[in-house]
Homo-oligomer: A and B are copies of this chain.
């Protein structure tokens, strides 16, 4: 496993969404009759799609709407929703900024201090709307914010940073003790999801530390430039296969099944189908949801690393708003590009490959079939995106 990249040094080849495809099955199934539900920590969700903790995607209203439709959204406790009483005005300014100003403006806006009272208020608003209240913080703030969130009655707590590890060295601050944190939250009846990682080792270790769900994926998102800035990034198919292998092994050793969530880089229904085929139990998406009328970003989205004061990674991306959240999830699709009716696409794909449920979808055949720009396709694509006549 691996090929030489120079004398005495091997590297293994990794694969992303555009490198692979799925294969029709010998059995096919009526799409309406496949089961796409998933479970985490004993809770069952009808829609295996989670909205990313991005300020252009999730606010209270969006979380309520997605919850009603059977999924859930993660509200970022370190974003504009907890820094500003009235985030709407701030989001207006972000949407109105020139491309040149946007990174600088974001850096400025995110320097506003977090108002702790807003943490509880947002959670209560989501609960009042009848949806699961799921909120996130980085490891450094997880202990403090987790406790506040628990008091406010949150349903699931997410600890998320660009790259997570079980062991973090620092003499300047104290690192989060995941085992203790998870135990504390479990004591309040709150499951904990942790991410992001790309490796078997960290996935397994986080499960051992008590995590109830793992986010997989570093660097592939549309708003993310981690690979360009840091050189770090593992293609999502390989990441998902590796983390799923850890999940299956952990289950075999302990009997506890901890779902993994592929996070980042999925733009269309086909990408989502491939993520499940690679082993995901659920997926987290940002960019496709940012196009919903219900999304707070006014047609824009950006990652949480974008406003980093010293080393911004990512950019404000314009996607426009062209459909309701319900249409994006369940159709009818008005576009044929795979960006709408994501659940319909997943059901149809599962029916075509002959998977009765997510577990069977995780074991469907994958082929290597790169979608690279070939002579034949260049003209076609160029025409679609308006580069040629």
- Residues of chain B within 8 A (CB-CB) of A313 are 336
CA distance A379 to B9 in the complex (A): 30
Q: Is A29 an interface residue (CB 8 A)?
A: yes
Q: Taking CB as reference atom, which chain B residue is nearest A1? A: B4
Contact B230 A199 (CB under 8 A): no
Q: Is A229 an interface residue (CB 8 A)?
A: yes
Q: Is A253 an interface residue (CB 8 A)?
A: no
| Contacting residue for A274 out of B231, B268, B371, CB 8 A | B231
- Residues of chain B within 8 A (CB-CB) of A386 are 388-389
Contact A201 B377 (CB under 8 A): no
Q: List 17 A-B contacts (CB under 8 A).
A: A1-B4, A5-B368, A11-B20, A21-B233, A22-B233, A23-B232, A26-B202, A28-B168, A33-B170, A103-B335, A165-B354, A228-B269, A230-B273, A233-B369, A315-B336, A379-B381, A385-B389
CA distance A33 to B172 in the complex (A): 9
Q: Is A205 an interface residue (CB 8 A)?
A: yes
Q: Is A97 an interface residue (CB 8 A)?
A: no
Contact B15 A231 (CB under 8 A): no
| Interface-lining segment among A49-57, A179-187, A343-351 | A343-351
Q: How far is the CB of A322 from chain B (nearest CB, A)?
A: 11
Q: Is A234 an interface residue (CB 8 A)?
A: yes
Contact A345 B311 (CB under 8 A): yes
B-facing mask of A307-321, CB < 8 A → 1, else 0? 001111111000000
Contact B369 A378 (CB under 8 A): no
A-B residue pairs, 8 tightest by C-beta:
A6-B241, A18-B374, A30-B170, A231-B273, A231-B270, A28-B165, A229-B338, A230-B349
B-facing mask of A326-340, CB < 8 A → 1, else 0? 000001111111100
Q: Taking CB as reference atom, which chain B residue is nearest A287? A: B380
CA distance A229 to B347 in the complex (A): 11
Q: How far is the CB of A284 from chain B (nearest CB, A)?
A: 17
Residues of A222-243 at the interface with B, using a CB-CB cut-off of 8 Å, are: 222, 225, 227-235, 237-242
